[in-house]
Amino acid sequence: MAEQGRPVTGQAAVDHLLDLLDLTPLGEDSFRGVSPKVGPQRVFGGQVASQALVAAGRTVDPSRSVHSLHGYFVRPGDPAEPIHYSVENIRDGRSFSVRRCVAQQHDKTIFFMSASFQRAEEGLDHHAPAPVEVPPPEQVPTMAERLARYPDRAGHWAMIPRPIDVRYVGEPGLVPPGGRPADPHQRVWMRIDGELPDDPLLHACLLTYASDLTLLDSVLSVHGEVWGPGGVIGASLDHAMWFHRPFRADEWFLYDCWSPSASGARGLATGRMFDREGRHIVTAVQEGLLRRVGA
């Protein structure tokens, strides 16, 4: 995926991600997905969750949009092995459709998810305000600019495709120990770094993918901790999302994350996504396994 030692970025990286989300149908309720050839040693959690949502969504009337999902990561995924997604139709009611999707490799479940879809309706409308005094994304350093100061920390991140423009308002979780002041919030501007078709399900799947990128950073942020040597290693245990309002994943959104609790080698993180107009578009909650390196 990299050419002459440089990662694929921009529209080329976005197109590659879209290819990953274009699952191969194996039947009415069965699909096959693959993983990038260049990437981490295990399947990225956001990938398997977003692919599972693609599979579930393909079995639902397109007039119904996903409004919530709840998933559990059961086993690490093997990026060299295709992933089989099977979808169970739990219910199609007058307003809601509910699906259960199971992802398997080597005949074992690696992830399962329930997702609910709703036809458009009018009703009460309110939301808590977006954070104030947050600089716009144009005034925030890119991830590459931040990590240029720490080349030994960039690791494989510097080489993998980057379809999402990620801009931390504070310091990212890869900054060395001592370089990150404790902060109760971790705020990140994000957007898909290219053009997307007008498919609401696809935009929801891409925000599902993006939501797993930085959420657990907020647990580390409370303690001024770091990923990797001198810090902790982690893995997603479960993931839940609620989609509140229409949005586009290729437009900037602010991911405002914080951690209400960490104990027992687990950390809980919650994040709210706001568009540039301050509309609350998505809420995400995740618990992750966090262990000291070498523990």
Active site residues: 212, 236, 286
Q: How distant is the alpha carbon of residue 30 from its chain centre?
A: 23
How far CA 150 is from CA of 97, 186, 219, in Å, comes to 47, 19, 21
Q: What is the DSSP string of 221-232?
A: HHHT--BSTTSE
Q: Which two tokens stand for residue 39?
A: 């990437």
> Of 274, 247, 240, 209, which is closest to residue 18 (Cα–Cα)?
209
**How far apart are alpha carbons 147 and 65 in whole angstroms?**
37
* SS3 call for 152: helix
Contact 56, 70 (CB under 8 A): no
Tell me which DSSP letter residue 159 carries: T
**How far apart are alpha carbons 92 and 75 in whole angstroms?**
30
